[in-house]
Amino acid sequence: MDFNIIIPAIRKKITEMIREAATQGNSEVIIRYSDMLLAVDRIEEGVADLEDKIMRIRNQIQIGSDSKNVDIPLATSIEQYTMNVSSAKAEGRKLGRLARSELLSDLKERGLSLTQQKGSLYTNRHGGFIAIAFSTERQSRRFFLGAPRDKSYQAVILLCRTDAGRDLRFVLPGGLIASLHDKLANEDQLKFNIKQSHNSYVLAVPGGEKIGLSEYESNYSSLEDAQ
């Protein structure tokens, strides 16, 4: 079962059904299918995480044509997998700290100073909240990021590290975050699903909406307004 084919097909079908319901003015059906789209987005995030974990196991035990006869004890596999996941998480945190440090340095050169409060949460000199989220490439040209949902943000900065080592910086202004808050909210976080569409990146919003991010890439105007 190829989820990379099935999930987009399901999303497309649900979107078509929402459009049809919209032409009929059937708000109840629109809400029901919008909830389905949200569930599909959550499933897609889970699939990406599962694929990532499977690949880590596969790489760890070196599955391949030249190692079919290698017998690795289950206990050893689990132990190695746990160590591998922990190592990957530590490496991810290290990359995140480095990306944030480079961003803060660049902002400081622009006269923009941010103070870390906790984790990915920062404030500017006027006390406005700014989240700086980080993610490596989870699938081909896909990024999943999160920020605390219980804040009124001046801006949210999404740092995306591609497999090629390029750092993408998308600075979403507070007004945009506020308008999308209920759609992005998931438990205690705002979830951001970024993917490449043609030659640019978009924010995939639950419900089928896609917001182009070109105008927000390395655009620090919302931070400057905050100062």
For 5-37, what is each residue's pLDDT tens digit? 787 788 788 888 888 878 888 877 777 877 787
Has this prediction a pTM greater than 0.75? no
Give the β-pairing of 121-123 and 142-148. Answer: unpaired
pLDDT for 208 equals: 81
* H-helix or E-strand spanning residue 193: strand 189-197
pLDDT for 80 equals: 53
Average pLDDT of the chain, as a whole number: 80
Calculate mean pLDDT across residues 159-184.
92
Write the pLDDT tens digit of every residue in 45-101: 777 667 666 666 665 555 444 444 445 455 555 555 445 545 555 566 778 888 999
* Distance from C-alpha of 63 to C-alpha of 81, rounded to nearest angstrom: 14
Q: Which SS3 state, helix, strand or coil, does residue 227 take?
A: coil
Calculate mean pLDDT across residues 134-148.
87
How many domains does the chain fold into?
1
* H-helix or E-strand spanning residue 197: strand 189-197
* Distance from C-alpha of 117 to C-alpha of 141, rounded to nearest angstrom: 30
pLDDT for 157 equals: 97
Calculate mean pLDDT across residues 92-117.
88
Cα 205–Cα 208–Cα 212 angle in degrees, nearest 5: 55
pLDDT for 49 equals: 66
pLDDT for 223 equals: 87
SS (H, E, C) 95-163: HHHHHHHHHHHHHHHCCCCCEEEECCEEECCCCCEEEEEEEECCECCEEEEEEECCCCEEEEEEEEECC
Q: Which SS3 state, helix, strand or coil, does residue 203 take?
A: strand
pLDDT for 56 equals: 61
Q: Which SS3 state, helix, strand or coil, does residue 94 take?
A: helix
pLDDT for 81 equals: 47
**Residue 132 predicted with pLDDT over 80:** yes
CB 165 within 8 A of CB 213: no
Give percent of the chain above pLDDT 90.
33
Calculate mean pLDDT across residues 124-133.
91
Range of the domain at 125: 3-226
Closest CA to 205 of 186, 218, 192, 219: 192
Q: Which of 82-86, 167-171, 203-207 has the lowest mean pLDDT?
A: 82-86
